Amino acid sequence: MLGRMRRGSWSQEKIVLLIAIVLFCVFSLFLNGFISAGNLLTLVRGVSTLGILGVGMAFLVIGRGIDLAIVAIYAMSAAWTLHLANGGVSIPLAMLIGYLFALSAGILNGVLIAYVEIPALFATLGMASFVYGFARYALVPLYVVYMPASASGIAWIGGGFVAGVPTPILFFALVALLGFAFLRFTKPGRLIYAMGDNFAAARISGAPVRPIIVLQYAISATIAYLAGMITATAVASMDTNVTNSSMIYDIILVVVLGGIGLSGGRGGIRNVIVGTLLIGILLNGMTIMNIQYTLQNVIRSLILLIAIVIDSVVNPRDEQISQQGDI
């Protein structure tokens, strides 16, 4: 608690928000067309999948867990759904099977961590390889699965509009809102904070920590499946190779950048939104400026490093954190 109070005035969230606002103002002033409504929708749309997965990850990191399998579940469950639909299975059934696959991977994660007591880092790292390997071996024979014509009925999930706003943005808003309400107003939500802050104390005071851990991973798998279907329907295909990409780091980055400490117990959905927007503004601005690919990577990592350096200068690590350690 002491640590949180001392963080008061200049939290990392505020620093990142400030950087995001500064970039936003600079781009608005100097880049033609950046500030147009169409471009702003494109900007948020481009990072909404990242944001949705970030919300799923935030649930876990706040409770001092982590899900390295989230991208594998996201890619493979959606890919299997498309593959089944390609093979003639009806769309609702294919989606149900795909979702059950995602859910069982999530529950298995939770059981391994809560009951077998394997550290989350290792359990989910193993699960990521297992989900990917098993699905590639037994369920989805090809790397890239295309959406069949029969699935045009669900194309709106990732490619539709409601009142001019692309559906992925609305899903991001919905997931963020539900996530916020869950963490703020429900008993399990409050207990996730307690577990992240001091797991032993939460357990001794009677919190059902094991079922809650299973619930957390089930929720993150559910969110991963939703994000997977959004991506799959938005580009009419699912590339299972994203499992091997840097996407998992991008998700953790969005969470940590926004100010949810890996040591748990701190932060909320707002932090994920701030982190996601900073990444979105950066990517969009650099695309408009037509900056060369390698230079883009340099600039992106530089700005992220700057945010982290400012945070560690403004908020030096205190004794409580160094004793607990990050993940």
Partner 1 sequence: MSRRNIFTTIAVALSFAGMVGQVSAAGIDDPRRADYFKTFTGKTIAFVPVTMGIDLTEGWASVLKKQADHLGMKFEIRDPHFSADAGAQAITSLISEKPDVLIVHNPDVNSYAKLLKRAEEAGIHVIQVNMRSNYNSDVYVGADWIGIGEAETQAIVDRCGAGTSQKVAILEGQPTSGSDSGMMKGAENILAKHPEIKLVANQAGEWDATKARSIISTVIQQNPDLCGVVGFWDVMDLGAAAAIKESGKSIALVTSGGGEQMACDNVEKGAFQEEIAYPVLQQGQDLADMVSVVLESGLPAGKEKVVIYTPPLKITKDTLRPGLCWSAKALKN
Would you tell me which residues interact with partner 1 (CB under 8 A)?
Answer: 32-33, 36, 38-39, 42-43, 45-47, 49, 136, 141-144, 146, 159, 166, 231, 234-237, 239-242, 244-245, 283-284, 287-288, 290, 292-294
Between 12 and 240, name the residue whose CB sits nearer to partner 1.
240
CB of 217 to partner 1, least distance (A): 25
CA separation, residue 230 to residues 129, 223, 238 (Å): 23, 11, 10
Tokens representing 217 are 């991973």
CB of 158 to partner 1, least distance (A): 9
Identity of residue 269? I
301: number of Cβ within 10 Å = 11
CB of 127 to partner 1, least distance (A): 18
Q: Minimal CA–CA distance to 186: which of 70, 59, 309?
A: 59
DSSP assignment of 167-236 equals: HHHHHHHHHHHHHHHHHHHSHHHHHHHHHHH-HHHHHHTT--HHHHHHHHHHHHHHHHHHHHHHHHHHTT
Between 79 and 202, name the residue whose CB sits nearer to partner 1.
79
Tokens representing 283 are 């990517």
| Residues 172, 66: Cα–Cα separation, whole Å | 20
Between 108 and 304, name the residue whose CB sits nearer to partner 1.
304
Tokens representing 298 are 């340099």
CB of 191 to partner 1, least distance (A): 35
Confirm if 278 and 76 have CB atoms less than 8 A apart: no
Between 168 and 265, name the residue whose CB sits nearer to partner 1.
168
CB of 135 to partner 1, least distance (A): 12
Between 49 and 271, name the residue whose CB sits nearer to partner 1.
49
Between 124 and 243, name the residue whose CB sits nearer to partner 1.
243
Which residues have a Cβ under 8 Å from the Cβ of 268 and sit 6 or more positions away?
A: 58, 62, 180, 183, 184, 260
CB of 142 to partner 1, least distance (A): 6
Between 3 and 160, name the residue whose CB sits nearer to partner 1.
160
Identity of residue 48? S
CB of 259 to partner 1, least distance (A): 25
Which residues have a Cβ under 8 Å from the Cβ of 287 and sit 6 or more positions away?
A: none
